[in-house]
Amino acid sequence: MTGPGKSELKRREGMLLEFASAPAAAGHERAVEVLVEKWAARRAGLTLERDSHGNLIVRRRDFKKACRKTAPLFITAHMDHPAFVVLSVSGKEAKLEFRGGVHDQYFKGARVEIFDAGLRRSYPARIVSLDAPAKPFKTVVARLERPAPVGPGCLGRWLFPKSSVKKGLARANGCDDAACVAAALIAYEGISRDKKLGHVALLFTRAEETGFVGAIGAARGGTLPKNARLVCLECSRSFPHDSPIGAGPIVRVGDKMSVFTPGLTNAVSDIAAAYQKSRPDFKFQRKLMPGGTCEASAFSFYGLKATCLCLPLGNYHNMADIEGVLAGGKARVGQEHVAVSDFHGLVDLIRETASRLDAPGRPAPRQGMEKIWKERAFVLGPAVRPRR
């Protein structure tokens, strides 16, 4: 089996940069939503809907009919990224709240950009003070270089150079998790054309960075059927000794809050291993991640079957050299980055998972245990006879 050609890989990478460059914050995901809407509008036979919590659902028109035979499978990703929202502006000083998890050290003197209400233009500023204990979110005061047409509700983010792909790494403002939104859409281009996969849909959630608000709403508010299965896509902090960048997408067994649905996780892992046999250039990892929590835990806590695929992420939440900073080193923000090879591998693994998860003939784990029992129970002695 051969992989996609160079032109297709370039198209994928362009889409990755486009989505990961879109400004977004919890509750302010409109820029990513517009990209999803434009993608869906170009494809006949698909519907794009918004649930009561603002989450987006992309599916085929025959989705409900297909789900009568096969339990629905949702590929999910969240649309927000840690960022600022303006509370007030006085002259050249803007007060902003920060929605997301970033250590206090990274705010001191950092440069940011604040967008106008239509996200058409941004204006540079520098943080001059931090109120870390502020509730519900820490706040900062940033001084604009000059008066600007920004006001309450406008979005701000760290100020970085233009997103790019260099030496195999995609560097952008917010790979987490817009890169996974792009991967899901690219994979779904093929999935949605397969007549057998009408039960597969996409779910893009809001406000993950402030406590899985969109995912919880979808789980408890009727968006997701009780028999739904979810493969959640995430960008997770890379640890070079354990989950290195460039070693392939990760089948995530669990996070610091939970172990995901074992049967579903094992099935995805088996599919990844089988795909690796047919594509020796495909790499993947299987890891219990040591930190962080993702939407798969939230869905699991509401009784849904869920697991996770993730991209190893550099400069997690735009924090460069986290370990060094926590040890007393100087803090600086940086562009998040992922390996483009990992991104392409994730696209392929999403497609393979959707195609093979319900394929006839895929052995159940118990069948393997039964085979071992029949072949080796004799070691327990003559009193133990395998059941035939």
Please check whether residues 71 and 99 belong to one and the same domain. Answer: no
**Structural domains counted in the chain:** 2
Q: How far apart are the first and last CA of the chain?
A: 39
User: For residue 378, is pLDDT > 60?
Assistant: yes
pLDDT at position 376, please? 83
Task: Kindly state whether residue 148 falls inside one of the protein's structural domains.
Answer: yes
Q: How confident is the model at residue 176 (pLDDT cuts 50, 70, 90)?
A: very high
The answer to whether 229 and 71 are in contact (CB under 8 A) is: yes
Please check whether residues 225 and 334 belong to one and the same domain. Answer: yes
Which whole number is the average pLDDT over 2-16?
90
pLDDT at position 383, please? 64
Task: Kindly state whether residue 223 falls inside one of the protein's structural domains.
Answer: yes
User: For residue 368, is pLDDT > 80?
Assistant: no
Strand pairing report for 83-90 and 155-158: antiparallel
CA distances from 230 to 79, 193, 218, 258, 299 (A): 16, 20, 12, 15, 8
- The C-alpha atoms of residue 355 and residue 196 are separated, in whole angstroms, by 8
Which range, of 106-115, 134-143, 149-158, 236-245, averages the lowest pLDDT?
Answer: 236-245
- The C-alpha atoms of residue 116 and residue 123 are separated, in whole angstroms, by 8
Please check whether residues 87 and 76 belong to one and the same domain. Answer: no
pLDDT at position 352, please? 97
- The C-alpha atoms of residue 320 and residue 315 are separated, in whole angstroms, by 5
Alpha helices in the chain (DSSP H): 6-21, 30-41, 63-66, 175-191, 213-220, 262-278, 295-301, 322-326, 340-356, 365-376
User: For residue 216, is pLDDT > 80?
Assistant: yes
pLDDT at position 387, please? 59
* Closest residue by Cα to residue 314 from 15, 44, 20: 20
Task: Kindly state whether residue 377 falls inside one of the protein's structural domains.
Answer: no
Q: For the beta carbon of residue 276, count every other beta carbon within 10 angstroms.
A: 17
- Residue that is last in its domain, among 158, 174, 206: 158
Q: Which two tokens stand for residue 21?
A: 């460059």
Please check whether residues 236 and 349 belong to one and the same domain. Answer: yes
Please check whether residues 279 and 301 belong to one and the same domain. Answer: yes
User: For residue 100, is pLDDT > 60?
Assistant: yes
Task: Kindly state whether residue 370 falls inside one of the protein's structural domains.
Answer: no
Please check whether residues 76 and 97 belong to one and the same domain. Answer: no
Please check whether residues 23 and 138 belong to one and the same domain. Answer: no
Question: Which residue range(s) make up the domain with 137?
Answer: 83-158
- Residue that is last in its domain, among 158, 190, 214: 158
The answer to whether 139 and 95 are in contact (CB under 8 A) is: yes
Mean pLDDT score of the chain: 94
How many Cα atoms are found within 13 Å in the side-chain-facing hemisphere of 357? 27
Q: How confident is the model at residue 291 (pLDDT cuts 50, 70, 90)?
A: confident
Domain of 344, CATH number, reads 3.40.630.10
Task: Kindly state whether residue 375 falls inside one of the protein's structural domains.
Answer: no
Task: Kindly state whether residue 31 falls inside one of the protein's structural domains.
Answer: yes
pLDDT tens, residue by residue, 306-344: 999 999 999 999 999 999 999 999 999 999 999 999 999
Q: How confident is the model at residue 381 (pLDDT cuts 50, 70, 90)?
A: confident
Q: Which two tokens stand for residue 225?
A: 């059927």
Please check whether residues 187 and 285 belong to one and the same domain. Answer: yes
- The C-alpha atoms of residue 113 and residue 159 are separated, in whole angstroms, by 5
Q: How confident is the model at residue 3 (pLDDT cuts 50, 70, 90)?
A: confident
What sign has the CA pseudo-torsion 264, 309, 190, 75?
positive
CA distances from 341 to 143, 222, 271, 275 (A): 40, 37, 19, 16
Structure-token match 């989450």, residue found: 55
pLDDT at position 369, please? 78
Please check whether residues 139 and 188 belong to one and the same domain. Answer: no
Please check whether residues 154 and 228 belong to one and the same domain. Answer: no
* Closest residue by Cα to residue 250 from 301, 279, 289, 199: 289
- Strand-pairing partners, residue 123, are 114
pLDDT at position 341, please? 97
Task: Kindly state whether residue 143 falls inside one of the protein's structural domains.
Answer: yes
Which whole number is the average pLDDT over 225-250?
96
DSSP calls for 61-101: TTHHHHTTTS--EEEEEE---SEEEEEEEETTEEEEEEES-
Please check whether residues 88 and 69 belong to one and the same domain. Answer: no
User: For residue 364, is pLDDT > 90?
Assistant: no
pLDDT at position 78, please? 98
pLDDT at position 74, please? 98
Please check whether residues 351 and 253 belong to one and the same domain. Answer: yes
Task: Kindly state whether residue 265 falls inside one of the protein's structural domains.
Answer: yes
Which whole number is the average pLDDT over 32-54?
96
Q: How confident is the model at residue 384 (pLDDT cuts 50, 70, 90)?
A: low
* Closest residue by Cα to residue 237 from 308, 348, 319, 334: 319
Strand pairing report for 169-172 and 111-115: unpaired
pLDDT at position 25, please? 98
pLDDT at position 388, please? 56
